[in-house]
Structure 1
């Protein structure tokens, strides 16, 4: 029986500590194991990490309006886990303490279809906890599912790493101690792109918003409206549509009659594709400029460069950043070798979430959730595919840049995936609100 098979009593630990304090010496070269065994059972600890492998549960939409983004995330997760278990050079550059696996344990995983529905996502992750003793959960494309998963993580005391989630609320009023977000979000997207829009499209413009009716859509709209005020921009109309809308004609008719100069489309996934194509059919695109503050992976490919030409957007990552960041070049090369095309931002996000989790666990030297959380909260700076990044301890939001892109003319594309020019890479720290500005109050560790 190892020290990890049965928790040590607190009395035993205190006695051991007293002996050391009293001058007892360890034999030369002997290293005591971490006293993680003294921790009480919590969440899936220690059962989930007692063997030679650990399990992580992935829940992303594989059907419905956000399915393409979900599949993109899966590719990033699977490449990361492959690299982690092999001790790949790229993974080692982000998480320098790893060898193969995490703390010497192979990382296994399972994937479930969340359908971008909060209840379905929670059911899937709950099953991973109960049946597989998952030590970590990850995934989401809808912020509604991310917020629901946050609450599950807090209740079950299992760490959750959101996938794509743009709402301010995820690390704002719905933040929890057990969740850490990698991606940019409404406030940082708006603060990064608003000056670009004002500079390039002019002052005193009238906006028509196309807004999906849930936490992501509403917080992006609020942040965009707030930051565009600096240029005298005002709202002509805000058209709110249910998630999964297929016919946007009634909303677009109101946009066409609004007198707006610029359409700011906040829809994501298939909703973004359909609403933009239908806006073109309505004659709106051409008469009004289009901007996308939170762009979907594959949007330009699915809509086409003829419609997207000149459109400004904000994103987490674009593959041509390999010219600026060495780790982006390594990531792109590995992704292309496995999947035969250039990675989108969801895949990069997923890879980074796995790598930074491995780094936090290795620095904690334990899978005990509060120890891992405190390793995250220490603000340790990590080398990433977009430069140096770190998590804020106060709200568990990654401090990372926002990438501003502009869609190219079809004639300017140098290859099949060359849809955008990178206009700017805006440093993250100056884009972020005070940690408590959106109501974040982290819960207890135990």
Structure 2
């Protein structure tokens, strides 16, 4: 898979004085510790599969916007964005990452929506001492048993999603659950965490069925769920899989027959694809909504102007936040050494339109507010992309797994 190189304008040639300083090894030159006089960031994502609308080209654009807003350079070194499609396959993703690190001089990788790919890339990044800014994957193992000193998990995870949303649904009396789960590490983790929350709040899981990634026909899985005694069918999947499952459940009359569909991971493009008529009433956890305040609207308008009028989802906005924080750390310490950058990132508070009053724990988990959202009825929407209402803000220390429960070997017992 060929990487697409996207140069960012603004590179300024080094002055003769700076070149001389580098030549004789003097410390303190503007880009003296930045390897190759370039900071190269790879957006490794799903460009063509079931998650491409939620990340894909929009994630690449968000990274480019972060580089451009930094002026195209950091401490005199050019910022370059490259991208590639991992096809949601761990071997493909790790192969691209290895080539980027070994041959193409990539300093950091971001996005990587697939949990299986992300775990592979996290291990390789640690081996190569390169920064991994995970924004799209859900597995909590990235800050648990597979944590890394050069890894940061930015947006959400499969602990926070059910902690925020499933808790709310069970407390409303929806206590008997059946799961339809994506059959790979992301889905397994999401089902496991949702099961924990259901049981902790006095509910019951009556069964589960697992479907392969990118399933087009969910009929057999939905009929098994419909035949169960559950009142709730929990969808532990995402992207096109979640959309197809909800659409087909409506076609089969499952929701009309009295069962509640609970989608555990929802992104704004999913709701756009479903339409408000089908999606109305869905309640779920999210990290961001474009129409929350003046700052989110201002950044989102810029994004929409460059993305055919499409509003950004939370996972796309997260890329901007992660890349920006990474570049600020490089600027502060005048180095792109991953270990040093990661230490600086953990020291520095996060405060931007995407994350307010956030911080990075020693295990790499970004602690930030999460939001309980509900999809509006068609009659409540005032225009294009006006899809959500915020029901509740859940503080990060309540939403995310306590650090001492994750099993991260970097954390002192």
Structure 2 match to 1:299: 270
Distance in 2, matches of 1:351 and 1:267, equals 24
SS in 2 for 1:329: helix
Q: Deviations over 1:255-277 (max 9, x none)?
A: 01001111111211111111111
Structure 2 match to 1:166: 138
Structure 1 match to 2:50: 65
SS in 1 for 2:373: strand
Does 2:178 correspond to 1:190? no
Distance in 2, matches of 1:257 and 1:129, equals 50
Structure 2 match to 1:434: 402
- Matched residues, number: 390
Distance in 1, matches of 2:20 and 2:359, equals 35
Q: Is the 8 A contact 1:72 1:346 kept in 2?
A: no
Q: Is the 8 A contact 2:30 2:334 kept in 1?
A: no
Distance in 2, matches of 1:83 and 1:435, equals 33
Does 2:302 correspond to 1:334? yes
Q: Is the 8 A contact 1:269 1:297 kept in 2?
A: no
Q: Deviations over 1:372-397 (max 9, x none)?
A: 1211222534344241111112x101
Give the unaligned 5+ runs of structure 1.
9-31, 38-45, 87-100
Structure 1 match to 2:260: 289
Q: Relative to 1, partners in 2 of residues 1:224 and 1:218: Cα closer, same or farther, differing over 3 Å? A: same
Structure 1 match to 2:41: 56
Which residue of the other structure, out of 332, 348, 371, is the alignment partner of 2:340?
A: 371
1:4 shift after superposition: 4.5
Structure 2 match to 1:109: 81
Q: Deviations over 1:283-333 (max 9, x none)?
A: 2122211222221341111112112111101112111212xxx53233223
Structure 1 residue runs of 4+, over 6 Å off? 34-37
Give the unaligned 5+ runs of structure 2.
1-18
Structure 2 match to 1:350: 319
Which residue of the other structure, out of 123, 129, 138, is the alignment partner of 1:151?
A: 123
Give the alignment of 1:21-100 within 5 angstroms: 33=28, 49-51=35-37, 53-69=38-54, 70-85=56-71
Structure 2 match to 1:248: 218
SS in 1 for 2:74: coil
Distance in 2, matches of 1:6 and 1:416, equals 59
Q: Is the 8 A contact 1:290 1:312 kept in 2?
A: no
Q: Relative to 1, partners in 2 of residues 1:420 and 1:355: Cα closer, same or farther, differing over 3 Å? A: same
1:160 shift after superposition: 1.3
Larger radius of gyration: 1
Q: What's the RMSD between the two structures over aligned residues?
A: 2.2
Distance in 1, matches of 2:125 and 2:200, equals 39
Structure 2 match to 1:309: 280
Q: Relative to 1, partners in 2 of residues 1:370 and 1:407: Cα closer, same or farther, differing over 3 Å? A: same
Distance in 1, matches of 2:399 and 2:205, equals 23
Q: Relative to 1, partners in 2 of residues 1:84 and 1:333: Cα closer, same or farther, differing over 3 Å? A: same
SS in 1 for 2:305: helix
SS in 2 for 1:382: coil
Q: Relative to 1, partners in 2 of residues 1:119 and 1:5: Cα closer, same or farther, differing over 3 Å? A: farther
Distance in 2, matches of 1:75 and 1:300, equals 21
Q: Please, what TM-score do these two structures have when normalized by structure 2?
A: 0.88
1:36 shift after superposition: 9.9
Which residue of the other structure, out of 393, 400, 412, is the alignment partner of 1:425?
A: 393
Structure 2 match to 1:42: none
